[in-house]
């Protein structure tokens, strides 16, 4: 009888532990890797932002509204954040960890598009989010020496490179980013850029964004 009671207690303890484990796992899984942005807005601003959100949902299907100013696609692989009209202080100017972010205006203001920074991801066409030829500043927030990023003036990441997070890359030379020779970065660790608050000659010319692995090589 005592042994049976002990076994029952042990079984109950195991059951509680299993439930806690799966609950905790699910709870962690529900956490987003990006910040949800809900700035204060008056009624007129709310209506205007919601109209832009609705237009984007029509432009590209599959989006999900997660806040008063944000949409996500592919479970957060892409985040579109709309600015509060006539409110510079309401700008979403921080790029979340693990993302490459572009803004329509200089100094990280205006409409913001966040793209999951993952080597080997397919190119992103900015026209899907009404950001083609409208990028004026960018940030990259990820591990150093892991992902090469190229802004290209043609769809599908084919065309002239308008921006790169690798300082040594020559831009506007007509070279497809995927044909950029890896051996060109031998002899030293590459110098990465993490942001540009204003694109000058390349301003408003990016049409697509490409991601590829970064191979850091050293001189022999």
**Domains of the chain by range and CATH?**
79-213 (2.60.20.10)
SS3 78: strand
CA 215 to chain centre: 21
Q: Phi, psi (5° rounding) for residue 27? A: -65, -40
Burial string for 46-70 (b: 16+ CB within 10 Å, else e) reads: eeebeebbeebeeebeebeebbbbb
Residue 32 CA to residue 217 CA, distance in Å, equals 34
Number of residues written out for the chain: 220
Per-residue pLDDT of the chain (220 residues; tens, 9 = 90+): 555 544 444 444 434 333 333 333 333 333 448 889 899 999 999 999 999 999 999 999 999 999 999 999 999 999 999 999 987 666 788 999 999 999 999 999 999 999 999 998 999 999 999 999 999 999 999 998 899 999 999 999 998 888 899 887 777 666 666 555 544 444 346 789 999 999 876 667 899 999 998 865 443 3
Q: Residues with Cβ < 8 Å from 12, sequence gap 6 or more?
A: none
Conformation bin of residue 84: beta by default, left when phi > 0, alpha when psi is -120 to 50: beta
Yes or no: say if 77 and 98 are a contact pair by the CB < 8 Å rule. Answer: no
């Amino acid at each position: 009888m005592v042994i049976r009671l002990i076994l029952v207690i042990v079984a109950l303890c195991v059951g509680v532990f299993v439930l806690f484990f799966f609950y905790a796992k699910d709870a962690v899984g529900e956490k987003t890797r990006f910040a949800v942005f809900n700035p204060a807005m008056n009624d007129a601003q709310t209506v205007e932002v919601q109209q832009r959100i609705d237009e984007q949902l029509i432009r590209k299907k599959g989006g999900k509204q997660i806040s008063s100013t944000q949409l996500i696609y592919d479970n957060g692989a892409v985040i579109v954040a709309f600015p509060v009209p006539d409110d510079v202080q309401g700008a979403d100017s921080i790029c979340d960890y693990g993302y490459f972010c572009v803004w329509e205006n200089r100094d990280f203001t205006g409409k913001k598009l966040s793209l999951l920074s993952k080597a080997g991801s397919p190119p992103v066409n900015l026209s899907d989010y009404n950001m083609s030829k409208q990028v004026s500043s960018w940030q990259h927030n990820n591990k150093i020496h892991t992902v090469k990023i190229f802004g290209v003036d043609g769809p599908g990441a084919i065309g002239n490179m308008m921006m790169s997070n690798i300082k040594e890359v020559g831009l506007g030379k007509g070279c497809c980013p995927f044909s950029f020779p890896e051996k060109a970065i031998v002899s030293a660790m590459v110098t990465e850029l993490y942001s540009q608050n204003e694109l000058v000659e390349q301003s408003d010319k990016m049409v697509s964004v490409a991601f590829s692995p970064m191979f850091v090589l050293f001189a022999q």
